[in-house]
Amino acid sequence: MLEKRRRVVVITGAAGGVGRALLEAFHRDGDIIAAVDLPCTDVVDVTASLGGGHAAFHCDVASEDEVVGLVAAIERRFGRIDVLVNSAGVSARNAPPDWDWERVWDFVMAVNMKGTFLMCKAVVDQMVKQGGGSIVNLSSIYGLVGRPREIGNGLDPYLHSKGGVAQLTRDMAVHFAREGVRVNALCPGFVYTPLTKRLTDDPESLQLLVDKHPMGRLGQPAEIAAAALFLASDEASFVTGACIPVDGGYTAQ
């Protein structure tokens, strides 16, 4: 029996809650990981703790120059890129409180939408050249549906950015399907991560969120990582252009 070839997997936002779960999942699967996050994170330490020949890189995904340099460095080191998982993301809650609405909107769109676009654009040519690859974008339930009045204001850039990620996924999937590049998105419900900590630490808001999920609970990062692992695998070879909810039934209501 032939030994499985170790894939080269690029994960952005690798120091975050879902990002760390992705690192662990692809590490257990035997892949080589290029873990990407901002210099202010502990992505180097997190990656080193796994062992296995992985490498950590610092990059602001909202900067085209940094993204182009990042992808070139990964290609020089590993020779190919088999999987890209775009996990880097922010919400309006990550912006400084003194920013006005326009600056907050630009900040969220720059990381979530533009950053995902730039990474996809920089990686897809390499994937076409090598004969294929898989891209998994992290959208959200709020890339598929609106936020209820009791937990939203109707003008949240997070939703706008994640809707854009879903449409980018579909458009790329159609265009690159015959080149062997599959592009899919995961649309998580609320998950226990640093991004949602301000909400989940408050008992009242936590209960409100739990009640919105038919399963009666929020998700765990490992559950999102498991779905990403499937989409990146050969078992999903006939899946492209899909935006798959991993949401405890939230969008089924």
Cα–Cα distance measured from residue 40 to residue 44, given in angstroms and rounded to the nearest whole number: 10
Number of C-beta neighbours around residue 253 at 10 A: 8
Sign of CA dihedral 7, 12, 18, 20: positive
Cα–Cα distance measured from residue 87 to residue 142, given in angstroms and rounded to the nearest whole number: 15
Cβ atoms of 203 and 160 within 8 Å: the answer is no
From the candidates 142, 158, 192, 250, give the one annotated as an active-site residue: 158
With both helix axes pointing from N to C terminus, report the angle between 17-28 and 221-232 in degrees, rounded to the nearest 10.
Answer: 50
Domains of the chain and CATH, by start: 8-191+220-248 (3.40.50.720)
Q: Reply yes or no on whether 158 is catalytic.
A: yes
Kindly give the confidence (pLDDT) of every residue in the chain, 253 residues in length, as a single tens digit, with 9 standing for 90 and above: 344 678 999 999 999 999 999 999 999 999 999 999 999 899 999 999 998 899 999 999 999 999 999 999 999 999 999 999 999 999 998 999 999 999 999 999 999 999 999 999 999 999 999 999 999 999 999 999 999 988 888 899 999 999 999 999 999 999 999 999 999 999 999 999 988 988 899 999 999 999 999 999 999 999 999 999 999 999 999 999 999 999 999 999 9
The pTM assigned to this predicted structure is 0.95
